[in-house]
Amino acid sequence: MQTDVSDVGADRRLADILARVESSLADDLLPVEIFNDVDVFQAEIERIFARTWVFVAHESEISKPGDFVQRRIGLDPVIVTRDGDGGINVLSNYCRHRGTQVCQTDQGNSRFFKCAYHGWTYANNGELIGTPFMQAAYGTPLDKRQWGLLRAPRVESRSGFIFASLSEDIESLDEFLGGAGWMLDALVGMHPDGMRVAGPPDRYHVKANWKTAAENFSGDTYHVPSLHGSMGEIGLAFGLDAGGEFGRPYEFENGHAFLGIAWTEQDPQLEFWGYPPEIKDSFDLSGFDESQTRVVTHDGPIVGTVFPNLSFFRAAAFDGSGLMSVVTSFRQWQPVGPGELEVWSWQFVWNFQDEDSALQDATIGQLQFGVAGVAEQDDTVAWEGAPKAGASAWARKEQMNFHFQQGNFSAIDQSPDPAWQGPGIRRRTGFGEHNQLHFYRHWLHEMQEQRPLNGPTS
Ligand code: FES
Ligand SMILES: [Fe+2]
């Protein structure tokens, strides 16, 4: 087999960029070109998204046999189905005959998917069950298993969150999540009935790089007073500058990180993020360990990112007329291109809530954190700068770096909290940019294909 000269050139170029990332990260800096580079993006799709565990759906979205949702793993469209046996399947949405997408809708309920092109039909577990004119065209039936839809070889769930990996050779989901799984259990497990999606996700395109969004949600408390300050001025939010002093970053293995806030140190009424009494009184933490109880009662995360592209948000929010809800959203930063992502944003509600209460939470969540949400507009406009800088001939010529030097170069003590009993690392200030650096160090680790995976790297 001949090696294409252009492939060698691209590999060399990518290796040079990653070497520069490595040396920059040693100084808590990051080269601009990784936010808008075709070779970097292609390698992310192959080395990260086609290999690691990627969130694909919440179990509440496919609760009944036949339910399906159309999702993505990197750039690949996949169908996530609940088959007749109750099993969960993550199937490639490319017909094995000529590649037409066999499922053209975002969600629904069906026992089969029929390709529109020539009519091959697949069961909702992926098996090929029908080929038109089979006798006349082929003479004998095609092997149903051999010609079924491609299946993600690994599919596992944690606390209702379904993840898939396109690589057989990967640790279990629980091992991959580590402390982030422990945190997810706490965030959605404060009532034994758990949480569900309030509806399908909002989806919208942003001219930003997926990493900027994931990094922001890993714990960028620094931007809040500046970028979201206007939300405080018009009464949609409070305590916007508390995240620095009261920030409590949590850092887990494999690039996962969350940012808690010491809510009750500011105001005892902010126990459980400030949930109203009728909700708070229903919580049941009997299955929690001591650290989980402490976290959700006093130091609950406002944001978090499960590497690579699933993020969490929970905070008190207002509708502008005095109604307040504590809203929960999960969002996924779908890579589209080096300088473009698609945001998928779900509002979550508690299963024990009555309809009115759930609707209020979902509505206020969408008002502020949905497609037209105030906070989203603040964030997404700001994020558009990084890929523009990354594409700038001037910035590249100057080998411009982004600045992540609040941490190891700061005179402030940001060492891990020695009293922390939970998994991973916890710090006692929201400043430091440690979570963001942790995300990028793991990103580099994956891009340089340095498996097996390791623990917190910073
Ligand atoms: S492409 Fe699907 S049946 Fe031909
Ligand atoms: Fe923000």
Measure 238 CA to ligand 2 centroid, in angstroms: 14
Hey, what are 94's tokens?
């490319």
Contact between 146 and 127 under an 8 Å Cβ cutoff? The reply is no
Confidence band, pLDDT 50/70/90 cuts, at residue 335: very high
Contact between 187 and 310 under an 8 Å Cβ cutoff? The reply is no
Give yes or no for residue 98 CB within 6 A of ligand 1.
yes
Handedness of CA 177, 180, 185, 187 (dihedral sign): negative
Mean pLDDT of 318-344: 93
Please give the span between the terminal C-alpha atoms of the chain, in angstroms, as a whole number. Answer: 42
**Residue 374 confidence (pLDDT):** 82
- When the pLDDT of each residue in the chain is averaged and rounded to a whole number, the result is 93
Beta bridge partners of 158: 161
Structural domain boundaries in the chain = 59-159, 174-447
pLDDT at 327 over 90: yes
Q: How far apart are CA 167 and CA 437, in angstroms?
A: 26
pLDDT at 452 over 60: no
**Residue 375 confidence (pLDDT):** 85
**Residue 2 confidence (pLDDT):** 53
For residue 119, the ligand 1 atom closest to its alpha carbon is 3
Query: Cβ neighbours of residue 29 under 8 Å, at least 6 residues apart?
Result: 401, 402, 403, 404, 405
Contact between 206 and 384 under an 8 Å Cβ cutoff? The reply is yes
Query: Cβ neighbours of residue 286 under 8 Å, at least 6 residues apart?
Result: none
pLDDT at 453 over 50: no
Residue with CA closest to ligand 1 atom 4: 118
**Residue 454 confidence (pLDDT):** 42
Closest CA relative to residue 85, chosen from 64, 54, 106 = 64
Give yes or no for residue 111 CB within 6 A of ligand 1.
no
Confidence band, pLDDT 50/70/90 cuts, at residue 1: very low
> What confidence tens digit (pLDDT) does each residue in 223-277 have?
999 999 988 888 777 778 888 889 999 999 999 999 999 999 999 999 999 999 9
Contact between 161 and 176 under an 8 Å Cβ cutoff? The reply is no
Hey, what are 437's tokens?
């650096």
Which residue among 91, 104, 117, 122 is best mutated to probe the pocket of ligand 1, counting the most ligand atoms within 8 A of its Cβ? 117
Q: How many CB atoms lie within 10 A of CB 165?
A: 23
Confidence band, pLDDT 50/70/90 cuts, at residue 4: low
Mean pLDDT of 55-71: 98
Contact between 426 and 248 under an 8 Å Cβ cutoff? The reply is yes
Q: How far apart are CA 164 and CA 76, in angstroms?
A: 12
Residue with CA closest to ligand 1 atom 1: 98
Phi-psi region of 99 (alpha: psi -120 to 50; beta: other; left: phi over 0): left
Mean pLDDT of 283-299: 98
> What confidence tens digit (pLDDT) does each residue in 309-326 have?
999 999 998 887 888 999
Contact between 121 and 63 under an 8 Å Cβ cutoff? The reply is no
For residue 98, the ligand 1 atom closest to its alpha carbon is 1
> What confidence tens digit (pLDDT) does each residue in 372-415 have?
788 888 999 999 999 999 999 999 999 999 999 998 888 888 89
Mean pLDDT of 34-45: 97
Residue with CA closest to ligand 1 atom 3: 118
**Residue 6 confidence (pLDDT):** 67
pLDDT at 457 over 80: no
- For a pLDDT cut of 70, what percent of the chain falls above it? 97
Mean pLDDT of 103-131: 97
Query: Cβ neighbours of residue 118 under 8 Å, at least 6 residues apart?
Result: 97, 98, 132
Strands 340-350 and 401-403: unpaired
pLDDT at 3 over 80: no
Give yes or no for residue 223 CB within 6 A of ligand 1.
no
> What confidence tens digit (pLDDT) does each residue in 348-372 have?
999 999 999 999 999 999 988 888 7
Please give the helix or strand (H or E) that residue 138 lies within, else none: helix 134-138
Q: Which CATH superfamily does the domain covering 174-447 fall into?
A: Naphthalene 1,2-dioxygenase Alpha Subunit; Chain A, domain 1 (3.90.380.10)
Closest CA relative to residue 353, chosen from 247, 282, 439, 453 = 282
In this structure, the dihedral spanned by the alpha carbons of residues 423, 425, 427 and 430, taken in order and rounded to 10 degrees, is -90
Q: How far apart are CA 332 and CA 308, in angstroms?
A: 9
Measure 115 CA to ligand 1 centroid, in angstroms: 6
**Residue 381 confidence (pLDDT):** 92
Confidence band, pLDDT 50/70/90 cuts, at residue 458: very low
CATH, domain 59-159, list 3.40.1180.10, 3.40.50.10440, 3.30.9.10, 2.102.10.10: 2.102.10.10
pLDDT at 53 over 80: yes
Mean pLDDT of 434-450: 94
> What confidence tens digit (pLDDT) does each residue in 178-231 have?
999 999 999 999 999 999 999 999 999 999 999 999 999 999 999 999 999 988
Hey, what are 381's tokens?
């406009």
**Residue 5 confidence (pLDDT):** 63
pTM higher than 0.75: yes
Hey, what are 289's tokens?
């360990």
Q: How far apart are CA 178 and CA 188, in angstroms?
A: 16
Q: How far apart are CA 207 and CA 9, in angstroms?
A: 28
